Amino acid sequence: MFSNRKIAYLLNEPKVPAKRKETAIRQALASKVLPTSLNLALLVVQRELVDAMQNIANELEKLVLDYKNEAKAEVTSATPMDEAQRNAVKQALERRTGKTILMQTKVQPEILGGVVARVEDKVIDGSVRYRLSALRQQLLRGVAAHTDTDSFVPPEISDGHLVPPAATPTTTQETMIEPTKIQ
């Protein structure tokens, strides 16, 4: 009810008397909610916290879900999932969270494949797009580390001439290991 623009405007308007606001709340909610919920709505209006009502509702919903050992999950896939796939994802999320999952699905081709699941405040990204990005970063780190160590070797200076470090072999004979020495 508080998310309805007209009602929210009425409840936020300082020129509307508090008694009128209370009457509007009672008429709209009395037959639909428990007395404690009605009292909460009246308190929110009296304290002029109507803008905070959405946050209050979200927190209350989280408490109810926790009490029921349930969690909402938003699962995104690149293509529509069939019933078997939805069930498999739901079961995997239930095993991971230990809660009954209330799942909503959506399609987003940009993820290329796999799924991205948002459960409470956690994101489980099993998308192909994420895996390719992670692989790219890993390759870039590997190339950067390899390039850094190969291209910048602090030279040893002796009599004004650059001398390679002792660990770097200067001939191919030094790099060869005789078969008799391998044990």
Whole-angstrom distance, CA of residue 49 vs CA of residue 74: 29
- The number of distinct structural domains making up the chain is 2
Whether 58 and 13 map to the same domain: the answer is yes
Whole-angstrom distance, CA of residue 36 vs CA of residue 14: 25
Q: Is residue 176 part of a domain?
A: no
Per residue in 133-181, pLDDT (tens digit) is 989 998 988 877 766 555 444 444 444 444 444 444 444 333 333 344 3
- Would you say residue 110 has pLDDT above 50? yes
Whether 126 and 83 map to the same domain: the answer is yes
Query: What mean pLDDT do residues 60-73 have?
Result: 95
Whether 15 and 53 map to the same domain: the answer is yes
Q: Is residue 174 part of a domain?
A: no
Which of 65, 91, 108 is a domain's end point?
Answer: 65
Model pTM? 0.59
Whether 53 and 101 map to the same domain: the answer is no
Which of 87, 115, 130 is a domain's end point?
Answer: 130
Query: What mean pLDDT do residues 78-96 have?
Result: 95
Q: Is residue 97 part of a domain?
A: yes
Whether 11 and 50 map to the same domain: the answer is yes
Structural domain that includes position 74? 69-130
Whether 44 and 19 map to the same domain: the answer is yes
Whether 41 and 53 map to the same domain: the answer is yes
Which of 95, 115, 130 is a domain's end point?
Answer: 130
Whole-angstrom distance, CA of residue 28 vs CA of residue 93: 38
Q: Is residue 91 part of a domain?
A: yes
Order the strands of the 115-119 sheet from edge to edge: 100-107, 70-77, 115-119, 122-125
Q: Is residue 149 part of a domain?
A: no
Per residue in 74-83, pLDDT (tens digit) is 999 999 999 9
SS3 53: helix
Whether 94 and 117 map to the same domain: the answer is yes
